Amino acid sequence: MSKPKVATDWLAGCAGCHMSFLDIDERIVDLVDLVDLRSSPITDLKEPDPSGVDVGILEGGINNTANEEVAHRMRKRCKILVALGDCAVFGGVPAMRNFFKIEDVLRRAYIETESTDAEGKIPDDPELAKPTRVRAVSEVVPVDVYIPGCPPSAEIIYYALSELAQGRIPVLKDERLQWH
């Protein structure tokens, strides 16, 4: 049996989940024995193979039209989609902005912040992605495996990936189930 192909990407998150992934340290060598790590923000390849991968992993929630596109592409190209971390699973910290109107959030970020000099400007280039309400990945595309945690510990990520590599769906419970 050939090694399962894995692709990852990050959306509206802080990259912390990928950092936690790197925290598995030397076991990454074991993991590379088990899986074929394809595209990822931490590898040179940035997009999952058009021919498809076995496991797609998304960190972060979906907070604009660009994230929507990345999520749809990943879903289309992977067999098992994993939501990694609280932002992907629940919306997480970025979702705090959902309690406000998007206009108010943009004004606060680009005009009212203490570090903004002159009068500030809300970016409006048509090339830019359009901000939306922050959503969990599962609100946009179907998710097969949820790994909550802010971030999930390296231990949990290693467990989940090694289960997936061996063709099993990881079951997170007891001390492996953490939302914080």
Partner 1 sequence: MATITINQQTYEVPDGITVLQAARQLGIFIPTLCDHPHLTPYGGCRLCMVEIEGFRTLQAACTIPVSNNMVIHTENEKIKKAREFALSLIFSERNHFCPYCQVSGGDCELQNAAYRVGMTHWPLQPNWQPFPVDASHPYIILEHNRCILCRRCIRACNELVGVNTLGVANRGARTFVIADFGVPLGESTCVSCGMCVQVCPTGAMIDRKSAYQGKKSEAEHVETICTGCSLGCGLDVLITDNRILSIYGNWDAPVNQGVLCKVGRYYPLDDDRPRITQPLVRKNGELQPTTWEEALSVAASALKRHSANSLTLASARLTAEALYLFRKVFAEGLHSPLVTTLNGHAMRPLTETLHDLGEPFEGRVTDLNDATSILIVQADLASNHEVLGFMVRRSLNRGVRIVIADSRENPLAALAEVSLVFKEGRQLAVVEGLMAAVARLGLSQTEYTEDAIANLANAAKTTGLATDDFLKAAYQITRGEKPVIIYDPAAINDVVAIKALVRLAKMTGATLISPKGEANSLVAAQFNLIEPMRPGTYEVAFVALGDEIPSETLVAALERTPFLIVQASRESKLTARADVVLPVYTWAEESGHYLNLEGRLQEAHPCLTAPGQAKSNEVALRKLAEALEVSAEGDWRTVLTQRVAPVTIAV
Binding footprint of partner 1 on the chain (CB under 8 A): 83, 86, 89-93, 95-96, 98-100, 133, 135-136, 138-139, 143, 146-148, 150, 171-174, 177-180
Residue 130 CB, shortest distance to partner 1, in Å, is 19
Instruction: State which residue, 60 or 148, has the beta carbon closest to partner 1.
Output: 148
Residue 82 CB, shortest distance to partner 1, in Å, is 11
* Helical segments of 16-173, H only: 16-22, 27-34, 65-77, 86-89, 102-107, 154-165
Residue 149 CB, shortest distance to partner 1, in Å, is 9
Tokens of residue 12, six digits: 């509206």
CA gap 166, 21 in Å, rounded: 18
Instruction: State which residue, 150 or 157, has the beta carbon closest to partner 1.
Output: 150
Tokens of residue 84, six digits: 């990694």
Q: How many CB atoms lie within 10 A of CB 108?
A: 13
CA gap 10, 60 in Å, rounded: 6
Instruction: State which residue, 37 or 82, has the beta carbon closest to partner 1.
Output: 82
- Asked if 152 and 178 count as a contact pair (C-beta separation under 8 A), the reply is yes
Instruction: State which residue, 89 or 165, has the beta carbon closest to partner 1.
Output: 89
Residue 45 CB, shortest distance to partner 1, in Å, is 28
